[in-house]
Copies of this chain bind each other. A is one copy, B any other.
Amino acid sequence: MNTNQTEKSIGIVNPKTLGFDQPLLLDSGVTLESYEICYETYGTLNQDKTNAILICHALSGDHHAAGYYDLKDKKPGWWDNCIGPGKPVDTNKFFVVCPNNLGGCGGSTGPLSANPLSGRSYGPDFPIVTVRDWVESQARLADKLEIESWAAVMGGSLGGMQALQWTIDYPKRIHNAIVIAAAPKLSTQNIAFNEISRQAIMADKNFHEGRYTEYNIVPSHGLKLARMIGHVTYLSDGGLHARFGRDRLENNARFGFNVEFEIESYLRYQAESFVERFDANTYLLMTRSLDYFDPAQNNNNDLTLTLAQTSAKFLVISFSSDWRFAPSRSQEIVRALTDCEKDVTYSEIKSEFGHDSFLLPIPDYHRLLHAYLGKI
């Protein structure tokens, strides 16, 4: 990082880890006897403990949402543009908590962790975790941090689904839910793309039924394909066109199957760097959790009835070019909330960056977050 970046950023941060010995009964029926949650915090908890914000991460995210680990880091946390002093999630005002989800690969207990029953890593034996399970584990983290209620719970994509689940499961412990680029449940097309990604990973010859770490290898081809599918669907057709068009790499051989178009080079690069930082079993778990998210299913598919029990205020945000979680999906949430007369603000932000917009410092988007959080 350079001096300019340091000034705007929360600066050097350190992840922390807390152990939990109280068994966690998961949605699947499996009990996790004990586990650890890795998390980061930014800013200071006030005396009344009323200024805490929980950040929930998406499929490929982790607990490192803001700041740098080391002066030599090239990149800060994944939402550093949004979290920090003077930023929309202002660390001069709020105490921000961002945990790595259970089943993740950033430090919380997940497939890469040692399974106390076998001594070897969980791998494919790590149980499927759901959005409800994450909310429960986050509530226990809040208990340990002595945070009775969150000023806000917020996140994009799968993170937005967690914020929504919080309002249902712990209505008294969340004052504001900021649900960004999310949906009340996946569409058939969403599930289809997830299924193809899982098939890509599981068909890799190095997958070894999920026990690849025991073979000192990773199913990199499959994970790369999954990431490429994700990447193309998280961006918009227009955004890809604006950035790459049909531009070609100079000097590369024509009439073959190697890289010729810039977009091919970009996808391969993104896939390579993803494999270095992400675990394939976690990818499987996260996509399944997305598939399963459907809070209204136990209420006869009535989202209004499901959200009627909530008491948080809502800010729902969508992005115009997001076709994976289109504005119409956010509007389903908004409609259900207005039908049960909840306090909801909705905005569709104009952006050409597709689903990935939620990670970007789009001025109208950040102004909206700033204004909303400023009033809390």
Contact = CB atoms under 8 A, between A and B. Distances in A.
Interface of A: 27-30, 127-128, 185-189, 191-193, 195-196, 198-200, 202-205, 221-222, 224-225, 228-229, 232, 235, 237, 240-241, 243-246, 254-257, 260-261, 263-264, 267-268, 284, 288, 291, 294, 323
Contacts of A200: 200, 225
Q: Which of A185, A191, A221, A228 has the most CB of B within 10 A?
A: A191
A192 B241 contact: no
Nearest to A247: B188
| Number of chain copies forming the complex | 2
A192 B240 contact: yes
5 contacts: A30-B255, A127-B255, A188-B261, A195-B267, A203-B204
Contacts of A237: 187-189, 323
Contacts of A204: 203
A187 B240 contact: yes
A154 B18 CA distance: 66
Contact of A191 (B191, B193, B261, B294): B261
Given A196-B229, A202-B257, A191 B264 contact: yes
Contacts of A288: 255, 257
B246 A185 contact: yes
Contact of A188 (B246, B257, B260): B246
A192 B263 contact: yes
A196 B244 contact: no
A209 B232 CA distance: 26
B225 A199 contact: yes
